Structure 1
Amino acid sequence: MMTIDLASDIVSRGIYLILIVCAVAIIPSLLIGLCVSIFQAVTQINEQTLSFLPRLVMTLVVLIIGGKWMLLKLSDFTIEMFHQAAQYVG
């Protein structure tokens, strides 16, 4: 039977998973952005493509390398929810 505690547990596990998956993609991009910003401040070069392109490349590299792991984590959670759906509802 579905209870408030069970529903909040499902939601919290889902939010935690989404945060982990997003952090894997966003944190390297933020670090590269910080490094480029420091470089721009030191050299006083204010080119917009200089800050955008490295972050884009880093995000693509992380998605290529970690994309399979992200997809597996999300699909495992989804499959687990479908397997337990009968217990939760019935």
Structure 2
Amino acid sequence: MLNTQRKDIHLSLSPDQYDDLTSALETHRDGLQQFVKESALGFGLETSYWSHRVAEVQGLLEAVHRLAAGESPDAVKHDLQKLSPESHEHPPS
């Protein structure tokens, strides 16, 4: 596995920017979910890869919601690190 450095991002968003960010994450998650469906039909990468990506984006979306609600950044970061391995390797096709 590659050792990739994580990025800590501290944002101050207007309500519209927050809505844009969460909408973009939801759209991205939904697009990855479509890849899950297509991979189940034999197209592209393995279903497990796309399912994991969906879970990662969902975790990121939940982290954004938690941070916006005032939860501790350290607690949110800790939970996110449990969801995301240090790197992503594409499964063999």
Higher RCO (C-alpha under 8 Å, 6+ residues apart): 1
> Normalising TM by the smaller chain, what interval?
0.3 to 0.5
Q: Which TM-score applies when normalising by structure 1?
A: 0.44
Report the structure number with the largest CA radius of gyration: 1
Larger helix fraction of residues: 1
